[in-house]
Amino acid sequence: MTIHVVGNVCVDTSFRLERLPMPGETLNAAAAGEGVGGKGANQAVAAARTGASVTLWAPVGRDAAGDGMESVLSAEISELRLSRLDLPSDRSVILIDRHGENVIVTAPSCAEAFDPLRMCPVVSTWRAGDMLLMQGNLGVNVTAQCLKAAQAAGLFTVFNPSPLPAEELDLAAVSLVIVNRPEAEKLTGEANADRAAERLRAKGAATVIITLGSEGAFVLEASSRRHIPAEKREAVDASGAGDCFAGTLTGLIAQGVCLPDAARLATQAAGIAVGRAGTLASFPTPAELAALIKIFKLENM
């Protein structure tokens, strides 16, 4: 089984601050850094680190930034299918305060222009039983068409619609939708995770996971609902934690781990990421994930 991640890649520039600036205010950062990011890349790497077979389909520019991202990602993902566009590679700026909270601004030229069904041979490579993992960075219509094509081909579709579009989401072709609590409330008008999950299922998603930050996650399946608690950890940097969760969860499901157990392990992986600085740099390594899985199996024997 292969996980086909269709999404974006960008250069992340991060600034660590005592607090986030007010409108019109200039602050000096305590530290700054640059690395590869983008929700598509983040989730593909997280899935690959579980040991799953992953193919990443994403656009980059014909520039030095695109070359650099390809070099970094090729060390993580064996099947890297980057489409080179005559546009500047996407970039994000991330501001992180001392509590680990963040704000992100992205210039998504490549992501907005990317049409995977038209620009690359993704459909000819997927097989019934494979998985498709998508996010909200590509165009709404492009994303919907890709999800529908995958469903028709017999793929298990996972959708993390972040950032949320202004348009109404059609979840009819989604096997599993993953959103955080603010996103769930914005999509449904419900602050309560249980009721929000029910409304998301009513919109078409077969299964719903709502991540709850330090409180863990809520999982709603056709015949069950459960709260997955999170271990208490000091937050250093929350950027990318949702991507770590989604990628890790999908990678584990692809290898036969049942959804509740995959959600528990993904919650632990995201907790590790929150306790470290950076995005991809904060994700658990393959060795750390293997150790988590081993401990989990021993505890549940």
- pLDDT tens digits for range 1-27: 999 999 999 999 989 899 999 999 999
Phi-psi region of 150 (alpha: psi -120 to 50; beta: other; left: phi over 0): alpha
Cβ contacts of 240 within 8 Å, gap of 6 or more: 37, 42, 273, 278, 279, 280, 282, 283
Cβ atoms 35, 13 nearer than 8 A: no
Res 260 pLDDT > 80? yes
Predicted confidence at residue 165, as pLDDT, reads 87
Count of structural domains, the chain: 1
Task: Give the pLDDT score at 168.
Answer: 83
CATH value at residue 153:
3.40.1190.20
- What number of residues does the chain have? 301
Q: What confidence tens digit (pLDDT) does each residue in 261-277 have?
A: 999 999 999 999 988 87
pLDDT the model gives residue 276: 87
Residue 194 lies in a domain: yes
Reading the block at residue 226, the tokens are 């459960």
Is residue 200 within a helix (H) or strand (E), and if so which, with residue range? helix 193-202
Q: Any idea which of 59-63, 147-151, 295-299 has the lowest mean pLDDT?
A: 295-299
Can you say whether residue 67 is alpha, beta or left, with left for phi > 0 and alpha for psi between -120 and 50 degrees?
Answer: alpha
For residue 96, what pLDDT is reported? Answer: 87
For 48-93, how does the pLDDT look when each residue is reduced to its tens digit (9 = 90+)?
999 999 999 999 999 999 999 999 999 999 899 999 999 999 999 9
Per-residue pLDDT, averaged over 96-123, amounts to 91
Q: How confident is the model at residue 298 (pLDDT cuts 50, 70, 90)?
A: low
In a domain, 272, yes or no: yes
Whether residue 95 lies inside any domain: the answer is: yes
Asked whether residue 96 is domain-assigned, the answer is yes
Q: What is the span of the domain harbouring residue 224?
A: 2-20+31-299
Residue 207 included in any domain: yes
Identify the helix (H) or strand (E) that includes residue 291. helix 286-299
- Round the average pLDDT of the chain to a whole number and report it: 92
| pLDDT of 233 above 80 | no
Domain-located, residue 213: yes
Q: What percent of the chain has pLDDT over 90?
A: 78
